Structures are given as C-alpha cells and as structure tokens.
C-alpha cells in the first residue's frame, strides 16, 4: 500500500481587496485539508456548491498556488518544484473537466487535440501519429473515423470521451475527475462512468472523483470525503459506512432513492449553506445543526487523523 498522493494542511484563502466603499473580505475556499490517496483507490469528494471541492482539485494539481500546506505525489513535494519540473510532472497527473463543451479548443480537430499532450511534452508516440490517435480513440470507445472532426460536430458525451483520451494520452497514474458527468444526460453519464471504471482496471489508475451527487460517489468510489465550507467534515472509510457527522447524515437523507417503494417522508434540514466570507468561529455547520451546543460555536472541531472513520464534530452521531 503506497500513497499516490499525500495532502497536508492544504489551504487557500482568497481575498477581495477593499475600496473606499467596502471592506476587504477574505474567504477560506479550502481550509486545512489533509488526506492520503492510496495507489489504485478511488476517493470521492462530495459537497454542495461553494464547499471548495473544485478549488481543492486545482490546488492538488497546482493549477492554483495554495496559501498553505503541501501536496506530495509519489512522495515528492510538488511545491518544491521549479516551473519546468512542474510542467514535466503534469504528464503523470491529469484532470477531466466538468464542462466538455469548452474543454477542447474549437479550432482543433479531434486528432490534433488528442496528440497535443505529446507536442506539449516534446514526446513521440510509440507508433505513428495516426496509430496513436486510433489507439486513444478506441481506448475511450470513440470511432477513429471522428479523428478529423471538430468539437462542435460532437455530442457532449463524445466530447467528454475526447477529454478523457487527452488526459490519458501520456499515461498518467493519477486522474482528478472534476464532476466529469455533471453536464451530461443520465444515459450518457452512465456510459462515461462505466468507461472510467474500465480504464481504471485496464490501466491501474488512481482517481480523485469530485461530485455533488452522493449516490454517484457511493457507487463509484472506495472511500468518501465530505466537504462543507472549505473543510473536510468526515472521511467515510467505505461507501456503506453510516454517517457520523450531522451534515453527512443530512446529505444522505436529502439524496433521493430511485425507487417509489423506498419513498420516505424526509424532514429536510432548514437553511442553506451560508456565505463563505468571514465565517464566525467554531463549527461552520453549527447554525444549521440540530445537535449544536455552546462549544460548537466557539471551537472549530478538528478532523481526527488517528481514527479509522475520522469526523470533525464535537457531538458525532
């Protein structure tokens, strides 16, 4: 069991500078996140909009510079790399993006788009370029006849397959999937998920899967991290683990089962995710939490690292 990724105390603060008519404001998009990603595993990050999950993905890939903390890929610290070293390393850690519609340059043919990784890294494919294009398109279940098409001639699902082919062209070991199916139809979402499962088995990939859809994360992942307002509030060691954090419990209750026999009267949690700017001290969930006590409003609960099922809560379930 080796760690593909070790993330320690990763934080990102964004500040909006003030002016004559408003105060400067700061928000912690990602706040003190630490976790290990074991090689070959699929870890899911789930949370609602504004919880910082997409920022976390970009911090890990160093597409955004963190304010604090470290990321190690195969034991080597990414923040210590020079820009040139970092560019070379990117071949090993790739990302599939949420919006397939704008993820390919509209002026590029599909063949040129999937060969661009080789151009960028100054590498040559093992065979001829045509063979490599065929191989990559076949790998993601696309007809190689599409090689000379332009992105606007493809459907959303086909574009997402091209995005996956581009990400896999250089045979990375880590793939960060940022809501790869959120803008696709259900029937196409299932195709893409099934393709990702198969690729993981064939190529021995490690996935970090980011999604707002708890059922999908439960289906696809080995372990799940739940984020709320920039912090990981709970790390479920397996997908059937019962929630210990009240927020996770709410999220599970709010997720509908696709079966009329499992219909239940849900007592939904009132309120909504508050603004991430200038949060009060204590647990960020305290205001909506049915179990909140005085301590929750004063002391920020810390995610235990010793536990096999870590939770950041003063009164876990």
Q: Which residues are within 8 A (CB) of 294 and not within 5 positions of it... i.e. 6 or more apart?
A: none
- Three-point CA angle 81, 96, 65, nearest 5°: 30
Should residue 48 be labelled a site residue for another protein when binding is judged by CB under 8 A?
A: yes
At closest approach, how far in Å is the CB of 49 from another protein?
6
Q: Per rule CB under 8 A, is residue 317 in the interface with another protein? A: no
Contact window for another protein (CB under 8 A) among 9-17, 68-76, 84-92, 279-287: 84-92
**Which CB sits closer to another protein, 32 or 283?**
283
Interacting positions 182-201 with another protein (CB under 8 A): 185-194
Does 15 sit near another protein (CB under 8 A)?
no
**Beta carbon of residue 63, minimum distance to another protein (angstroms, whole number):** 6
Token pair for 263: 């219909």
**In the bound complex, what is the minimum distance in angstroms from residue 183's beta carbon to another protein?**
10
Does the protein bind another protein through residue 286 (CB under 8 A)?
Answer: no
Residues 6+ apart with CB under 8 A from 264: none
When the beta carbons of 202 and 270 are compared against another protein, the nearer one is: 270
Helix segments in 25-109, DSSP class H: 53-60, 83-89
E-state strands within the chain: 3-16, 25-38, 42-46, 68-73, 76-77, 93-96, 174-178, 206-211, 223-228, 231-236
For position 251 contacting another protein by CB under 8 A, the verdict is yes
Residue (32 or 158) nearer to another protein, CB: 158
Residue pair 54/29 in contact (Cβ under 8 Å)? The answer is no
C-alpha dist (Å) from residue 60 to 52, 228, 276, 282, 300: 12, 18, 21, 26, 24
Among residues 34, 39, 67, 121, the one that binds another protein under rule CB under 8 A: 121
What distance in Å separates the CA atoms of residue 170 and residue 117, rounded to the nearest whole number? 7
Task: Provide, rounded to whole angstroms, the least separation between the CB of residue 119 and another protein.
Answer: 8
Name the minimum Å distance from CB 117 to another protein.
5
Shortest distance, position 306 Cβ to another protein, whole Å: 28
Does residue 256 touch another protein according to CB under 8 A?
yes
| Enclosing H/E stretch for 312 | none
- Asked whether position 220 contacts another protein by CB under 8 A, the answer is yes
Helix axes 156-168, 110-121, angle to 10 degrees: 20
Q: What is the DSSP letter of 299?
A: S
Is residue 155 at the binding interface for another protein, with CB under 8 A as the rule? yes
Stretch that binds another protein, among 28-36, 70-78, 180-188, 202-210 (CB under 8 A): 180-188
Per DSSP, the chain holds a count of helices (H) and strands (E) of 9, 10
Give the one residue of 66, 69, 117, 180 binding another protein; rule: CB under 8 A. 117
Which residues in this chain contact another protein in the complex, by CB under 8 A? 48-49, 61, 63, 86-91, 94-95, 97-99, 102-107, 116-117, 119-121, 155, 157-158, 163, 166, 170, 185-194, 212-216, 218-220, 239, 250-251, 253-263, 266, 268-270, 272-273
């Amino acid at each position: 069991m080796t760690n593909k990724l070790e993330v320690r105390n990763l934080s990102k603060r964004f500040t909006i500078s003030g002016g004559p008519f408003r105060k400067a404001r700061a928000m912690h998009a990602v706040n003190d996140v630490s976790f290990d990603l074991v090689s070959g595993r699929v870890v899911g990050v789930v949370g609602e909009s504004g919880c910082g999950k997409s920022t976390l993905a970009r911090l890990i890939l160093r597409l955004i510079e963190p304010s604090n903390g470290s990321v190690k890929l195969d034991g080597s610290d990414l923040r210590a790399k020079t820009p040139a070293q970092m560019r070379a390393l990117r071949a090993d850690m790739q990302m599939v993006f949420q919006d397939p519609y704008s993820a390919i340059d509209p002026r590029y043919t599909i063949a040129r788009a999937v060969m661009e990784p080789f151009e960028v890294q100054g590498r040559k494919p093992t065979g001829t370029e045509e063979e490599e294009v065929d191989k990559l398109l076949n790998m993601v279940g696309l007809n190689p006849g599409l090689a000379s098409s332009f992105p606007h001639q493809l459907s959303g699902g086909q574009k997402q397959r091209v995005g996956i082919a581009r990400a896999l062209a250089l045979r990375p070991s880590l793939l960060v999937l940022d809501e790869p199916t959120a803008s696709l139809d259900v029937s196409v979402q299932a195709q893409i998920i099934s393709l990702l499962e198969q690729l993981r088995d064939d190529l021995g990939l490690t996935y970090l899967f980011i999604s707002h859809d708890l059922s999908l994360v439960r289906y696809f992942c080995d372990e799940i991290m739940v984020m709320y307002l920039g912090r990981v509030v709970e790390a479920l060691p397996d997908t059937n683990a019962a929630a210990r954090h009240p927020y996770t419990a709410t999220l599970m209750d709010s997720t509908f089962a696709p079966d009329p026999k499992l219909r239940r009267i849900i007592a939904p949690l009132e309120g909504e995710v508050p603004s991430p700017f200038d949060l009060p001290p204590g647990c960020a969930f305290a205001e909506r939490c049915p179990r909140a006590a005085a301590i929750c409003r004063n002391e920020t609960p810390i995610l235990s690292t010793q536990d096999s099922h870590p939770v950041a809560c003063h009164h876990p379930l």
